[in-house]
Structure 1
Amino acid sequence: MIPSNEWLKTWNEKRALLTCPNNLNDYFEETAVAGKKIDRLELGSVSIPTGEILVRDPLVYIQKNAEPYLIKVPIGEFPVTAAIIIPGDDDCARYAAVKVQFTAYDAIRFEEALIGTENLIDFNEGEFFGFNVDAGLACVLDKETLKHFCAFQDKFHNEHPGKNLYDDYFAALFAASYAENPDYQRKDGDWINWKIPETNYHIPFFQSGFGDGTYPVYYGFDIEGNVCSLIIQFIDIELAYSEEEQ
């Protein structure tokens, strides 16, 4: 998608409003945020063969025509890490954020990732666009791996008419993930690192914090202004738990 000149003009005028209100580095470096204990969980790597990246609900919003984010990222295999709110008070572990690290440099600012079609005219401070989750899961993928995912999805439904992609395929993988790596997972599994059949591409799937909803995705920019990371924020820890602290 090539955005219009008008859209780009508005984007440049409003980029300051797209900055994340939180220091997302804290989620991946500190042992506690807003009084909540935080730990990290390594989810393996994600394959980025073109640098055109997307974040989607893997069970509801995987479509061939899905558009990637406007700014390209480095190409390669990159580590994926979840920032976990350590469970307590009879709650499960909550995945507050998930980060893909592209370079060895740290981010000094975080700005929402956009596709180039968003309505920026009425966009105001404190708002975000985000992506939708309707199945309690999210995934990071590349425009090329999206094609392979869609091809797999079509093949599965053609070969298994009436079957459900999650119940009859992914559920067993999530259960196996829990059996092999039970830390910060419920028994049905909260994450997998899926290798697309007949490819060498990996797509990590993971739980979406508080479940269904709309969640922002941020680029991390280093001191030179280059993209060094991508972070999905499922839980604004300071906001979500501020009442508990009071």
Structure 2
Amino acid sequence: MIPTAEWIKLWNEKKTLLACPNNLNDYFEKQNLAGKTIDHLELGSVSIPSGEILVRDPLVYINKDAEPYLYKVPVGEFPVTAAVVVPDDEDSARYAAVKVQFTSNDAIRFEEALIGTEDLANFSEGEFFGFNVDAGLGCVLDAESLKAFCTFQDQFLAENKDKNLYDDYFAALFAKNYEENPTYQREGGDWLNWKIPGTDYNIPFFQSGFGDGAYPVYYGFDANDQVCCLIIQFIDIELAYRPDPEA
């Protein structure tokens, strides 16, 4: 999708509003935020064969017409890490953010990832666009691996008309991954690095923090203003966990 000149003009005018209000580096560099212990979980790699990247709910919003984000990223296999709010007496492990690291450079600013069709005219401070989650999961993938995913999905459903893709396929893979990697997973599994059958494409799936909802995705830019990472923010840790001073 090539955005219109009018859209690009609004995008440039509203760049400051599209900046992340949090320093997302803290999620991956600190061990304590807002009184919560933060740890880091390696989720394997993601395959980026074309450089056109997407973030989707893998069980609800995988379709061949899904548009990638505007900025292209490097091509290759890249590590994926979850910043986890460590479980305590009050709650289970929550994945606060998931990062894909493209280069060795550090991000010095974060800007929301957009596809070029968002309604920027009515966009204001404190808002974000994000992506929708209806199955408690997110995934990061490439435009080419999306095509392969759609082919697999269509074939599975055509051959298994009375079956469900999660219950009859993915559930067993999540359960196996839990058995092999139980750290920061609930029984049944909270993440999976899936290789699409018949391909070399890896797609990591992961729990979406507090569950269903809409979540922002940010590009990280280095000192040379080049994309160096992509971060999905599931939980604003300061907002969610900072004690109320008036309580």
Q: Which residue of 2 aligns with 1:150?
A: 150
SS of 2:14's partner is helix
Offset of residue 241 of structure 1: 1.0
Q: Which runs of 5+ in 2 are unaligned?
A: none
Give secondary structure in 1 for the equivalent of 2:39: strand
The two structures have a TM-score, normalised by structure 2, of: 0.98
The 5-angstrom pairing of residues 184-195 of structure 1 reads 184-195=184-195
- Residue equivalent to 1:28: 28
Residue 90 of structure 1: how far off its partner (Å): 3.8
SS at match of 1:153: helix
- For 2:130 and 2:89, the matched residues in 1 are separated by 29
Tell me the distance in 1 between the aligned counterparts of 2:216 and 2:98: 11
Residue number in structure 2 paired with 1:61: 61
3-state DSSP of counterpart to 2:91: coil
Instruction: Please tell me the residue identity of whatever aligns with 2:88.
Output: G
What is the aligned partner in structure 1 of residue 161 from structure 2? 161
Whole-angstrom CA distance in 2 between matches of 1:40 and 1:197: 28
Q: Matches of 1:51 and 1:162 in 2, distance apart?
A: 36
Matching of residue 223 in structure 1 with residue 223 in structure 2: yes
1:125 CA drift (Å): 1.0
Deviation (angstroms), 1:244: 5.7
Alpha-carbon displacement from aligned partner over 1:176-224 (angstroms, at most 9, x marks no partner): 0100000000011000000000000000000000000000000000000
Match of 1:42 in 2: 42
Rounded Cα–Cα distance in structure 2 between residues aligned with 1:48 and 1:180: 26
Gaps of 5+ in 1: none
What is the DSSP-based 3-state SS (H/G/I as helix, E as strand, rest coil) of the residue aligned with 1:121? coil
Identity percentage of aligned residues: 75
Q: Does the residue aligned with 1:197 lie in a helix, a strand or coil?
A: coil
Distance 1:240 1:41 in 2: 21
Query: Match for residue 5 of structure 1?
Result: 5
Deviates more, 1:219-228 or 1:85-94: 85-94
User: In 2, Cα distance between the equivalents of 1:184 and 1:56?
Assistant: 22
- AA in 2 matched with 1:182: P
State the alpha-carbon separation in 2 of the partners of residues 9 and 124 from structure 1.
16
Distance, in Å, in 1 between the alignment partners of 2:145 and 2:77 is: 12
Name the CA distance, whole Å, in 1 between partners of 2:229 and 2:90. 33
Residues 38-74 of structure 1 show CA distances to partners (whole Å, capped at 9, x for unaligned) of: 0000000000000000000000000000000011111
Normalised by the size of structure 1, how large is the TM-score?
0.99
CA RMSD of aligned residues (A): 0.8
User: Which residue is equivalent to 2:51?
Assistant: 51
Per the TM alignment, residue 243 of structure 1 is displaced from its structure 2 partner at its CA by: 3.5
Q: Which residue of 1 aligns with 2:235?
A: 235
Aligned AA (2:208): S
1:139-187: CA deviation from partner (whole Å, max 9, x where unpaired): 0000000000000000101111110000000000000010000000001
The Cα shift of 1:35 comes to: 1.1
